[in-house]
């Protein structure tokens, strides 16, 4: 896969990475992430909707790709592109779950610059039997634009958000906590950052996009945890958000520090949680033929 970088322009001043000695070998990020494949992980999902706990599945896809600096879209034909291209690490996080008769299908895409994992764009869609909702957060040197299109009355709007130094936007948290260029917090360390609640949470609660804060702490020691995919040594991060939610995020201690699981809760109510059921590096976009659906079992999903 062609790797392109550009550091022109100023986006959010992003959180500096910790400098833990030996946390990352020289060139390890490039050797792993520029191999032309994606990391595809399946999760057992559970969460709350309409006052009841629901079960479903989630898929997280992490992949690097070229990204147009001006257009903020994927560059499909780099050899023909005459603009400035960045390399981004993209996270596509899909959540699918049933609510009685009908189901929800949601997806968020987070595009983060590979040098520092600063957010460039986040898009979110939700489809269920009542209708569609789509939103896009576009981060530019001049500021942040939030564009929402909804089937609900009075929700479609375009607004601006003030940039926040060291701010974390929604599911960008899962990219940052992986520490792909070095651990983001030292063992036992705590940090408070501006935090914009994930689009998934805001959609289900019909809440506005406003900056709050999150206190993020790393446990002092790694621990062995068991998930459907197996037993792993894990780093544990604990997040307390100013909207009253708390999260526990488990990251695989060994590189590439896969996302082993997460839980967002408010009091005793589990709002959004996933546990790793399977993982594989693959060119998933080529695996669309009849019979290849059996590969879903390799990432812990139903065939």
| pLDDT at res. 19 | 44
CB 35 within 8 A of CB 283: no
What is the bridge-based pairing of β-strands 190-196 and 168-169?
parallel
Q: What's the CA gap between 47 and 187, in Å, rounded? A: 29
pLDDT at 201: 96
Helix (H) or strand (E) holding 139: strand 131-140
Do 148 and 156 form a contact (C-beta atoms < 8 A)? yes
User: Predicted confidence band at 1 (pLDDT cuts at 50, 70, 90)?
Assistant: very low
Residue 167 scores a pLDDT above 50: yes
Look at residue 21 in the predicted model and tell me its pLDDT: 39
Average pLDDT over residues 89-95: 98
Under a CB-based contact definition with an 8 Å cutoff, are residues 95 and 200 in contact?
Answer: yes
* pLDDT tens string 195-240: 999 999 999 999 999 999 999 999 999 999 999 999 999 999 999 9
Which contiguous run of DSSP H or E holds residue 33? helix 28-33
Other CB atoms within 10 Å distance of the CB of residue 175? 21
In the prediction, which pLDDT does 80 show? Answer: 86
Model confidence band, residue 302 (pLDDT cutoffs 50, 70, 90): confident
What lies within 8 Å, CB to CB, of 186 at 6+ separation is 18, 20, 218
CA distance 236 to 234: 6
**pLDDT > 90: percent of the chain:** 84
Lowest model confidence (mean pLDDT) among 10-14, 65-69, 229-233:
10-14
The confidence band for 62, taking pLDDT boundaries of 50, 70 and 90, is very high
State how far the Cα of 241 lies from the Cα of 212, in Å rounded to an integer: 7
pLDDT classification of 83: cutoffs 50, 70, 90? confident
**pLDDT greater than 70 at residue 94:** yes
Tell me what pLDDT residue 15 has. 57
Residue 137 has pLDDT above 90, yes or no: yes
Q: How many residues does the structure list for the chain?
A: 303
pLDDT at 236: 98
The mean of the pLDDT values for the chain is 91
83: which 2 tokens?
């603009």
Banded pLDDT at 26 (limits 50, 70, 90) = low
In this structure, are residues 277 and 301 in contact, taking their beta carbons and an 8 Å threshold? yes
Q: Which residues contact 222 (CB under 8 A, 6 or more apart)?
A: 233, 234, 235, 236, 253
Cβ atoms of 43 and 277 closer than 8 Å? yes
The whole-angstrom separation of Cα 76 and Cα 91 is 17
- Kindly report the backbone phi and psi dihedral angles of residue 213, in degrees, each rounded to the nearest multiple of 5, phi listed first: -135, 160
Q: Is the pLDDT of residue 5 over 70?
A: no
Q: Tell which wins on pLDDT, 53 or 6.
A: 53
Angstrom distance (rounded) from CA 239 to CA 228 = 23
Sign of CA dihedral 297, 198, 116, 85: positive
pLDDT tens-place string over residues 257-282 = 999 999 999 999 999 999 999 999 99
pLDDT score of 292 more than 50: yes
- Kindly tell me if the per-residue pLDDT of 24 is higher than 80: no
* Spatial separation of the C-alpha atoms in residues 123 and 63, rounded to whole Å: 16
């Amino acid at each position: 896969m062609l790797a392109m970088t550009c550091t022109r322009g100023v986006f959010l001043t992003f959180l500096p990475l910790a400098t833990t000695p030996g946390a990352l070998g020289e060139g390890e990020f490039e050797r792993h992430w520029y191999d032309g494949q994606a990391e595809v992980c399946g999760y057992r999902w559970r969460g709350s909707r309409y006052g009841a706990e629901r079960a479903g599945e989630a898929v997280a896809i992490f992949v690097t790709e070229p990204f147009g600096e001006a257009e903020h879209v994927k560059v499909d034909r780099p050899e023909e592109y005459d603009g400035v291209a960045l390399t981004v690490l993209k996270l596509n996080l899909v959540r699918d779950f049933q609510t009685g008769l009908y189901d929800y299908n949601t997806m968020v895409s987070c595009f983060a610059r590979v040098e520092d994992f600063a957010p460039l764009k986040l898009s979110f869609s939700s489809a269920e039997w009542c209708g569609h909702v789509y939103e896009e957060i576009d981060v530019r040197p001049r500021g942040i634009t939030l564009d929402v299109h909804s089937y609900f009355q009075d929700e479609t709007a375009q607004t601006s958000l003030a940039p926040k130094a060291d701010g974390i936007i929604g599911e960008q948290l899962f990219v940052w906590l992986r520490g792909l260029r070095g651990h983001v917090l030292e063992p036992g360390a705590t940090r408070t950052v501006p935090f914009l609640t994930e689009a998934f949470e805001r959609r289900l609660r019909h809440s506005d996009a406003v900056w709050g804060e999150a206190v993020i702490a790393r446990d002092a020691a790694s621990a062995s945890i068991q998930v459907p995919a197996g037993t792993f040594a894990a780093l544990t991060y604990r997040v307390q958000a100013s909207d009253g939610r708390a999260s526990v995020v488990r990251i695989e201690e060994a590189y590439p520090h896969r996302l082993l699981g997460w839980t967002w809760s408010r009091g005793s109510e589990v709002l959004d949680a996933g546990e790793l059921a399977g993982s594989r590096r693959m060119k998933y976009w080529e695996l669309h033929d009849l019979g290849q659906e059996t590969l879903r079992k390799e990432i812990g999903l139903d065939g």
